Structure formats: structure tokens, C-alpha cells
Copies of this chain bind each other. A is one copy, B any other.
Amino acid sequence: MTYNHPKILVAIDCLVFGYDTTENNLKVLLFQREVEPFAGEWSLIGGFVNEDEDLSDGAERVLEKFTGLKDVFLEQLSTFGKANRDPGGRVVSILYWSLIKLDDLHRDIANEHGAKWFDLDQLPELVVDHSEMLKLGTEQLVHNAKSRPIGFELLPEDFTLPQLKQLYDAIYGKSIDDRNFRKKILSTDLLIKTDKKDKTTSKKGAFVYRFDTEKYNELRKQGYHLDLNV
């Protein structure tokens, strides 16, 4: 070790949004802390960074522990580092956020770890500065929904346009005009229409679409930047 300076505990907190396609609402994964201070209180999922571990690997480890998921949308958001933010000691915490397709499996795995999915409008009090983290993440979600195709991280691979619209409605907290939404989303030319119909929510049935990930990645390499402007 070359440097001679005070060392600090480094933690990762991970804000996980899951979308429940059947209920049509956005949820957040929280867990009950097991250690003092604040044992038993609700917090974002998190953990300490190991000495030989990349931050991004630590975030993946935390996420996989509580959801069983790998290779999903997971990005760094911001770092929280007030000297006295945690009464248990000096901890600098790096906030990540993740978007997942919520299904029963993830509910079960969450359960095993004392974690639970909460509706955004029925959140409990959160420890330390986690409410601030949640606020930041929610803003990020709204902001990103306009500029990147993050909606498809939250929906199953096969989805219908009414489903996609409901997701955007949930994110923005208001109802978008149906015709304009279709026009905009289809004009990106990044949706693949299949000939299947999903009849679970109507007699007529809604066509099933898929997001064209390859095409999007190809375009992105060429500097393309999606702007949904919904």
C-alpha cells in the first residue's frame, strides 16, 4: 500500500424498480435491516463493498442476492457521503438503480431475504437517506423514460401496445393520448410486430410486439439517440 490516509467503509445501495404486468403498477424492492442501527426498519437493498471487488461487481452481487437476477439493467446513479449520514459509522454509499421484469420467482427470492415489493404510493419510512435515494431514482426513471428505451427492461419480451402504454402511464403518473403514443412509438421503427394476439385482456385481442434490441444497438453505435418525447 502506497497511500497513507484514513480509510472509510464503502457500501452499495440498489434501488430496484419492478413492473407488475398483471397489476399494472410500479414497485420498489425494500428489505428489513438485520443489523443495528435501525435493525428491523426498511431500507433499499444493499451491502458493503469487498476490498478486491469492483463497484459494479458489488452492485451485481447485491442485486443477484435479492432477486436472483444477473445481466439486467443496472447503472450507477449517485454517491451519498455526508460524514454523519449513518449513526453506525462513517459510510460512503454508492447508489445504483435497476429495472426488472417482476414475476413470481422474484417475489419468492425476495421473500427468502426478508425483502418485499412495495407499491410506490405505499412506501414505509426508510432508514438514513434512502428516501432521498428513492426520490432521485424516481426522477431518473421519469427522465430516462423520455430519452432511452428503458420501458422494455420492465416488460416481458412479448408485450402489447396497450401494455406498453400502461407502463408509460404508470411512470409519468398520467394518461398519454393513445393515438399519439402509438404513432411515436411505432415511428421509432424499433418494435417488431408479431402475428400473435394476446387475448387475456380483451375479446378482440391485442397484437404482440417485441423490442428490436439488435437494431437499437446497431443504431446506437452510429450515434443514434432515441428520444421518445412521450
- Asked if B51 and A6 make an inter-chain contact with CB atoms under 8 angstroms apart, the answer reads yes
Kindly supply a per-residue 1/0 record for chain A positions 1-33, scoring 1 wherever the CB is within 8 Å of any chain B CB and 0 otherwise.
111011111100000000000000000000000
Whether A5 touches B48, Cβ cut-off 8 Å, given contacts A55-B92, A92-B10, A92-B92, is yes
Whether A48 touches B3, Cβ cut-off 8 Å, given contacts A8-B8, A55-B82, A79-B79, is yes
- Asked if A2 and B37 make an inter-chain contact with CB atoms under 8 angstroms apart, the answer reads yes
Q: A35 contacts the other chain (Cβ, under 8 Å)?
A: yes
Residues of B within 8 A of A35 (CB): 2-3
- Asked if B54 and A82 make an inter-chain contact with CB atoms under 8 angstroms apart, the answer reads yes
- Asked if B76 and A94 make an inter-chain contact with CB atoms under 8 angstroms apart, the answer reads no
The stretch that binds B, out of A83-91, A106-114, A152-160, A179-187, is: A83-91
Residues of B within 8 A of A10 (CB): 7-8, 10, 81, 92
Kindly supply a per-residue 1/0 record for chain A positions 163-199, scoring 1 wherever the CB is within 8 Å of any chain B CB and 0 otherwise.
0000000000000000000000000000000000000
**Which residues of A96-134 have CB atoms within 8 Å of chain B's CB atoms?**
none
